A and B are shown apart, each in its own frame.
Chain A
Amino acid sequence: MIASLNGIVKRYDSKLVLDYIDLEINEGQIIGLLGPNGAGKSTLIRCLTGMETVNQGNVTLFGDGKKPFQNKNKEKIGLVTQEISIFPELTAKENANFFAGVYGLKGEERKRRVAEALAFVGLAEQTKGKAQNFSGGMQRRLNIACSLVHNPKLLIMDEPTVGIDTQSRNHILQAVKQLQSKGTTILYTTHYMEEVEAIASEVVILDKGQIITKGTVQELIQNIQHEEKIKVEVSHPEEVSLANIQALPDVKQVIKDGNQILIVTSANSGHLDRILTIIKEDSGVVGINVEKPNLEDVFLTLTGRTLRDGGSV
């Protein structure tokens, strides 16, 4: 096991920020830590890395539960901070060199690792450019390179894609997958569920300081999957027999909306073929769309609120 949190409680004065958190991070995983703003994600990271002392519970890093935050263990951790924390006056290469030195890299190895880290984030051509002249996306990528330069076993990424363009976001997500394939374990926090769905091998959903659920994306969705929506676009909607569709078992609702027929069925009812057969008897089928639940629906089901803004629906 790379790291674990056992019964972690963190309070700021009387405000409970982390409420008995239990979390295990195993080697080679990408754990997507998902939650709305203020859920406690950043505090969890601060407790995991020793930046904050915990009020209760234990942190174990690399099997070390007695002195988890000693330098020997810190050397194996890379942190991509939520806010860009590079030195704007230094060049990309100097920034990476600074952190390489801090993590004890020397000589040829240091040169090689700096070059590799900058190339990995797509900044090989901008090594001599000052960070302050970089775009937001490039600064984000340099922020990541500085965390990778020492080849950490555990990379913690705290909302690394906030405020950047789609191209840089995709580059970062691809980089995360590549890192996993090289054996790096990643804890990735975000409030963008699309990112977690794209990269995470396990998802942990945090809300109001509590882990409300965890598992793979599929597991989480299956747990809340009660129904699916099938939208069929037809050429002659007036001729389609809605009653025949409604008569099928597990079909809960059939609605005609213009050229579209919306059929709500129980999850995994397996009726798609039969529904299409019925419709084809009366009309041509122009298009089909089956809407599956996503992590947003998981969060909505468990909390009654939307993930992106934490607002009620």
Chain B
Amino acid sequence: MMRVLRTIPYTLIRMSRDYITLLLLLVVPIILITIFYFVLGDMKNQYGDLAFYDTAQLMTLVFQLFGGSIVIAYIQDDLFSARRQRILVAPMSLPLYALSISLCGMFFSIFLGFLLVLFTGVGLNVEWGNVFWVMYIIALLAVLSSLVSLILIFSVKNIKLAERLSDVYGIGCVVLAGLFFPIPDYPVITFINEYLNPLLLAANAISYAQSNLFSDAYIYMFRLGIGIVITFIIVYVLGRRKI
């Protein structure tokens, strides 16, 4: 256990020096949100609030959906590539090491989400409401996305396929949420968005909390939690087989 714990600082250092990930999950959203800040200007939404607030919040959450790619990359590098041999020969628990990488990936994704909340809140005056609640929801979303990515990497043999499927998961959630184009009001899609789409579950949990409707916010938080429990069980079963 201690031996695995000693690897954690180095895993986090590696992630912090992964400039491509930082570019895609931090710099790109900051640029996009800033562009929307200037494009939307003083435009208001149906409730009379600045429309930019909704956009900034949703975009912050959208990029959490892709945080799972961090876990995919590091699990692949350390457990399914040339480095696997060295890790297998080392006197430490492989499943524990895999867990530590996954937790580091989740933590890093949450940290990037925090930086986005900080940037939009302090830099662009976005009203997030209770920051602790927001970070809690972002953490749940990041954990869920990472677990989905783990399911993908444990389910397919080809890492590239896992990455593409991970992209499909992220983009699919965005499309179903109607952010790219309006989605028809079919019962199936409404059900998915109400119970399964993590992007809208997180957005609703934050939105209701901002309106002080915490009983509704808890419902969406609870649905996210159920998603985490289910995906965790699947990861556990698949991971035991694969590692």
A98-B89 in contact given A85-B82, A85-B83 (Cβ < 8 Å): no
Q: How many A-B residue pairs have CB under 8 A?
A: 65
Across the interface, which residues of A come within 8 angstroms of B89, CB to CB?
49-51, 74, 77, 79
Q: Give chain B nearest CB distance to A233 CB in angstroms.
A: 50
How many Å lie between the Cα of A147 and that of B90 in the bound state?
10
Is B85 part of the contact surface with A, judged by Cβ < 8 Å?
yes
Indicate whether A102 sits within 8 Å of B13 (C-beta atoms), given known contacts A51-B89, A74-B90.
Answer: no
Contacts of B86 in A (CB 8 A): 79, 81, 85, 99, 146-147
B52 CB, nearest partner CB in chain A, Å: 36
Contacts of B91 in A (CB 8 A): 71-72, 74-75, 102-104
Among A46, A51, A98: residue with most chain B CB under 10 A: A98
Residues of A contacting B242 in the complex (Cβ-Cβ under 8 angstroms) = none
B240 at the interface (CB under 8 A from A): no
**A104–B13 CA distance with the chains assembled, in angstroms:** 20
Q: Which B residues are in CB contact (< 8 Å) with A65? A: none
Main secondary structure of the interface of B (DSSP, over half): helix
- B207 CB to closest chain A CB (Å) equals 38
- Residue A134 lies at the interface, judged by CB distance under 8 Å to chain B: no
Residues of A within 8 A of B6 (CB): 101-102
For B160, list chain A residues within 8 Å (CB). Answer: none
Q: How far is the CB of B148 from chain A (nearest CB, A)?
A: 25
Quick one: which of A46, A72, A83, A89 contacts B18, CB cutoff 8 A?
A89
**Are A89 and B83 interface neighbours, CB within 8 A?**
no
Q: Given A79-B86, A90-B13, 4 other A-B contacts at CB below 8 A? A: A51-B89, A85-B82, A90-B17, A102-B7
Show 8 residue pairs from A and B whose CB-CB distance is below 8 angstroms, ordered by the A residue: A49-B88, A74-B91, A89-B14, A89-B17, A90-B10, A101-B7, A103-B91, A104-B3
Query: Interface on A for B, CB 8 Å cutoff?
Result: 46, 49-51, 71-72, 74-75, 77, 79, 81, 83-85, 87, 89-90, 94, 97-99, 101-104, 130, 146-147
Chain B residues packing against A (C-beta within 8 Å): 2-3, 6-7, 10, 13-14, 17-18, 82-83, 85-86, 88-92
